[in-house]
Amino acid sequence: MLNPNESSSTVTRRGFHTAATCGLIAICRTASAADFSMRQYHNQPVEAPLHKRLTEMWAAVAKETRGRVQVTITPENNHMKDGDPDPLPMLIKGEIDFYTVAGNNLAGLVPAADVQATPYVFRDSAQALRTFDGELGDYLREELKAKGLYALPRACFDNGIHQVTTASRPVHTAADMQGLKIRVPGSQLYHDFFRTYGAVTAGMNINALHDALKSGRVEAQDDPFDVAELFKLYEVQRYMNVTNHSWSGYNLLANWKMWQALPADIQPVIERNAQKYVRMQRADAAGMGRKLRAGLTKRGMLFIDSDIATFRAPLGSYYTRWKNAIGSRATSLLEASVGKLSV
């Protein structure tokens, strides 16, 4: 049963999880019109293209299955205390059914998933998405399956290329990162990327980010342009430093046992619609990205085109550690797509 305090955008809802009491997840018909009532979490606000397209996707699935599949969508991960990491154990346990999450938030479970955040390898989102729609994405899907998660094929929503925003000082070169207190999402290995430049990193729920920046607990943050807009970071950050240092996406994951238990006629309906609405969200994100520099400038942010060469220069030993962490298979598939990983 959903928490009664849960804030949700509901396509429909009821109790698919009663089946889990059988020891193995079984498919049982409930008293409702839906045969399969499930739950979807994501970490974005309702204004985000991700939320819009997920809502449309699950509505399309409900229509195509004539109401047999109904899904409750919960934005901003229901404001969970610790943010992004919390829903993942829930997904593995089958307490929720679907979840979108960035690769470097999966690295604690599958180290190879950190490959999605590899610094300075992707020119743009389009290149990253082509890479993860291909053989590298298939490899990650198999690694995740072994951990009880099903990554829907070619169903990674776009988050975008990451930048650094700051409150009181611009970042013209990597030297300006020295001593900078910065909120960083994802794995410790990704945090180490910023520590290479002398930054002091902190992790926190994205829903707590605005307050942390306002209070001075941190003075900077790492995320794509749209996060500054959607979470109103322009109110507490003066500089948008265009570092173009990494990419992230929102992988659409399902609980593997639940997915296996779905009938064979329903699985392709979900996969087909996921791919359709992922393509739409990617187009939304691209369109939004093209407008955001002008839009955030009007909101008072100053754009700084950072000297990327200074960021690349010290990464030699870091790349060695990165390759060791993500593994030889992920490294070779990445390099086959984008070229050798080097400074």
**Helices (H), ranges, 25-69:** 49-64
Q: Return the structure tokens found at 115.
A: 């490959």
- CATH topology identical between 9-110+117-160+248-291 and 163-246+295-338: yes
Mean pLDDT, the chain, rounded, equals: 90
pLDDT at 33: 65
Exposure string over 65-98, b if 16+ CB within 10 A, otherwise e = beebbbbbbbbbbbebeebbbebbebbbebebbb
- Token pair 């998933």: residue: 113
**Between 1.25.40.20, 3.30.565.10, 3.40.190.170, 3.40.50.970, what CATH number should domain 163-246+295-338 receive?**
3.40.190.170
pLDDT digits (tens, 9 = 90+) for 239-248: 999 999 999 9
pLDDT at 5: 45
Average pLDDT over residues 246-264: 97
Confidence of residue 238 (pLDDT cuts 50, 70, 90): very high
pTM metric for this prediction? 0.89
Summarize the confidence of residues 36-46 as an average pLDDT.
Answer: 95
Q: Where are the domains of the chain?
A: 9-110+117-160+248-291, 163-246+295-338
| CATH no., domain 9-110+117-160+248-291 | 3.40.190.170
- Res 305 pLDDT > 60: yes
Contacts 24+ apart (CB under 8 A), 65-69: 65/266, 65/269, 67/12, 67/33, 67/34, 68/34, 68/35, 68/36, 68/266, 69/34, 69/35, 69/36, 69/38, 69/266, 69/269, 69/270
Residues 316-332 have pLDDT tens digits of 999 999 999 999 999 99
* Higher pLDDT, residue 235 or 82: 235
pLDDT band at 4 (very low <50, low <70, confident <90, very high): very low
- Whether pLDDT at 146 is above 60: yes
Distance, CA of 102 to CA of 118 (rounded, Å)? 12
Backbone φ, ψ for residue 223 (5° rounding): -175, 165
**Residue 81: pLDDT band with limits 50, 70, 90:** low
Angstrom distance (rounded) from CA 116 to CA 133: 12
pLDDT confidence band for 28 (50 / 70 / 90): very low
DSSP assignment of 5-18: T---EES----GGG
